[in-house]
Structure 1
């Protein structure tokens, strides 16, 4: 199944809101770091329910916000969650961004970038549309060091690019972006049951669950356009 088909199905089942709830644990910390100034143009890449762009409108007074998703049903759902005229939702793949050169101040992507069919082309597109000094905050839970995520492509049923921390940094540089930082944001909000409740349907041990959320968490790589 294609990424578009799979996430159209998720959207039709209302699972976009479930993703928003889970991702918010770490996404809010990444969003708080973004140097968004009042009036800035922001792109939310792989926007899902659109919560990230709306949060930047509310907390940072971002100007024009674009949420882009490859799944039409996701974009449609996101559109229904706001009546803010400054927020627009678009359907497109990551390799063909519908923006002019140097037209976006900042881009955020949470748990979506690895679905790009060609992530190197997607990064080149981001480098093209970002203004000089613009930033790309790329947050992923699916990455090489997070051994507890390696089964996700089989579970979700779509192709996903699994890069290591080093590979993310190198790919950013290859696209012409400076790497301003990279770290892991732990999920400290998810409830971890006591040891006597393991194993569960998803976890062999409490130690595995702690490692997944508290140690690996969300990998955040920050690129800056020259």
Structure 2
């Protein structure tokens, strides 16, 4: 199954809204750190339901927000969920972004980068479409140090690429982006039961669940275009 087919199915089944609900726990903290100024133009790569752009359009005076997804069904759902006139959605290939050089002030991507078969090419494209001083906020929960997320590959029929925190920094730099910061954002909203209620259907031990959500959470790597 192709990545497009996989996520078309997710969109048809309503999983896009489920992803939105789950990702928002840490996305809101990462989004609040983007230095958005009035009139900025923002690209959301792997936009899914479009929740990130809707949130940014409600809290900032964006000139324009564009969400790109490889799934036509995801993009169509996002259009239906969005009322903001300055937000639009398009379909495209991450590795060949359909935008002119220096088109964006910021790029946001959450839980999408690990599907990139050619990560340096993708990051080079992001560098190309960013204006000088523009930022890339890349958030993932599937990464090497977060060992309890590695099972996610078994739950999806398309390849996911597992990189470490150091490898993310190296990839950014190889593509010509400066690494401004890297941090982990704990998920404080997932309720973790007391030890005497384990094992659960999903977790063998409480320590494993704490490790996944409180210790490693979401990895945020911030790049800046020189």
Judge same fold: TM > 0.5, yes or no.
Answer: yes
Query: How do residues 48-87 of structure 1 correspond to structure 2 at under 5 angstroms?
Result: 48-87=48-87
Q: Distance in 2 between matches of 1:219 and 1:44?
A: 17
- 4+ long deviations beyond 2 Å: none
Q: Distance in 1 between matches of 2:190 and 2:111?
A: 17
Any stretches of 5+ residues in structure 2 without a counterpart?
none
Any stretches of 5+ residues in structure 1 without a counterpart?
none
Aligned residues: 226
Q: Distance in 1 between matches of 2:80 and 2:32?
A: 25
Q: Distance in 1 between matches of 2:82 and 2:158?
A: 29
Which residue number in structure 1 is paired with residue 183 of structure 2? 183
Which residue number in structure 1 is paired with residue 141 of structure 2? 141
1:34 maps onto 2:34 in alignment: yes
* Per-residue deviation, residues 23-48 of structure 1 (Å, max 9, x unmatched): 00000000000001111000011000
Q: Distance in 2 between matches of 1:202 and 1:7?
A: 23
Query: How do residues 5-16 of structure 1 correspond to structure 2 at under 5 angstroms?
Result: 5-16=5-16
Q: Distance in 2 between matches of 1:4 and 1:194?
A: 40
Which residue number in structure 1 is paired with residue 21 of structure 2? 21
1:170 maps onto 2:196 in alignment: no
1:216 maps onto 2:192 in alignment: no
1:4 maps onto 2:4 in alignment: yes
TM-score by length of 1: 0.98
- In the TM superposition, what is the alpha-carbon distance from 1:86 to its structure 2 partner? 1.0
- In the TM superposition, what is the alpha-carbon distance from 1:85 to its structure 2 partner? 2.0
* Per-residue deviation, residues 121-161 of structure 1 (Å, max 9, x unmatched): 11010000000000000000000000011121122121011
